[in-house]
Amino acid sequence: MPQKSHSIRNRGVIGRPWSGLKPSIHRRTENVREFGFMNRKDTLFDQQIIEPGDFVFDERVVHVFPDMINRSVPGYGLIIPMIGLLAHRYAQAGSTIYDLGCSLGAASLAMRQAVDNENVKIIAVDNSPQMIASFRQLLAEQHDGTAIDLVEEDIREIKINDASVVVLNFTLQFVDLADRLPLLRGIVTGLRPGGVLVLSEKICFEDPVEQGRQTGWHHDFKRAQGYSELEISRKRDSLEDVLKPETAADHIARMRQAGFSEAYQWYQGFSFASFVAIR
């Protein structure tokens, strides 16, 4: 892969808290007057407005999403800028980058910052109309950088075409198990040789003892983030049958089966992991 002369560090992709947003944008997202609608504290499960098994990415979730994902996923604030770094390394001139299940676009924005001026196109997809509308509103405030095309669609219906980087950052876990292999096959087919998939997932563990310990450590993390016992158990109930985790070994095996020539786990924070697969 050709070396690029400009420094990613100088453009601030590394070391910024959660989003990899440019400083001005990051400040704006912290400004309640401008973006208060998606800057609220997650109290959804304190108020019990979501029923068991009923988690959906609706307006209530969008309003608290950055706070929710930061306080629920150990390492989310690290994974986002690392996706930027990986995009910087693997994005190919003239190709397309896909962010599948983009939510409010943290990964897209980190990648845009990392690959600016590389003649790439970014397509961000989510099937939640509220997520797409809010991400669109955020983008409307920015007038610089690579264009990001927003697509409101099920990621199973998207044709990946001439891609060099595809991101599934905590999205595959919400897709039916039977649909995961066909989805990955479509990604491999649409990737250029040398292109990559970055896959981040909540994982489970074969050994019940380890499963118990990892769950306990994750709940300690959530307690340390200020969630109460009630909020933790209600969220767990609401995600039951909605979020379907698999083991790290299952993910690696499926990526190989789908046609990736290499697949590695690069990150784990308790029961949250991230992988890179290379076509």
Q: Which two tokens stand for residue 31?
A: 């400004």
Using the rule CB under 6 A, which residue among 14, 28, 40, 57 binds ligand GEK? 57
- Residue 171 as a binder of ligand GEK (CB under 6 A): the answer is yes
Q: Determine the Cα–Cα distance for residues 260 and 35; give it in Å rounded to an integer.
A: 40
Terminal CA-to-CA distance of the chain, rounded, Å?
14
Closer CB to ligand GEK, 90 or 98, in the complex:
98
Q: How far is the CB of 102 from ligand GEK (least distance, A)?
A: 6
Backbone phi, psi, residue 152, to 5°:
-90, 100
Q: How far is the CB of 130 from ligand GEK (least distance, A)?
A: 9
List binders of ligand GEK among 218-247 (CB under 6 A). none
Report CA-CA distances (Å) from 137 to 99, 142, 219, 277: 17, 9, 33, 32
List strands edge to edge, sheet with 262-269: 148-152, 121-126, 96-100, 163-169, 191-202, 272-278, 262-269
Closer CB to ligand GEK, 67 or 118, in the complex:
67
Q: How far is the CB of 209 from ligand GEK (least distance, A)?
A: 26
- Residue 102 as a binder of ligand GEK (CB under 6 A): the answer is yes
- Residue 124 as a binder of ligand GEK (CB under 6 A): the answer is no
Backbone phi, psi, residue 266, to 5°:
-110, -15
DSSP 201-224: EEB--SSHHHHHHHHHHHHHHHHH
Using the rule CB under 6 A, which residue among 96, 113, 169, 214 binds ligand GEK? 169
Q: How far is the CB of 170 from ligand GEK (least distance, A)?
A: 4
- Residue 44 as a binder of ligand GEK (CB under 6 A): the answer is no
Closer CB to ligand GEK, 154 or 262, in the complex:
154
Q: Is the CB of residue 149 less than 8 Å from the CB of residue 120?
A: no
Compute how many residues bind ligand GEK; rule: CB under 6 A: 20
Stretch that binds ligand GEK, among 98-106, 113-121, 254-262, 265-273 (CB under 6 A): 98-106
Between 131 and 150, how does the x/- string for binding to ligand GEK read (CB under 6 A)? x-------------------
In the block, tokens 């306080």 appear at: 71
Q: Which two tokens stand for residue 189?
A: 């087919």
- Residue 126 as a binder of ligand GEK (CB under 6 A): the answer is yes
- Residue 263 as a binder of ligand GEK (CB under 6 A): the answer is no
**3-class SS at 158?**
coil
Q: Is the CB of residue 107 less than 8 Å from the CB of residue 167?
A: yes
Binding residues for ligand GEK, per CB under 6 A? 57, 69, 101-103, 106-107, 125-128, 131, 154-156, 169-171, 174-175
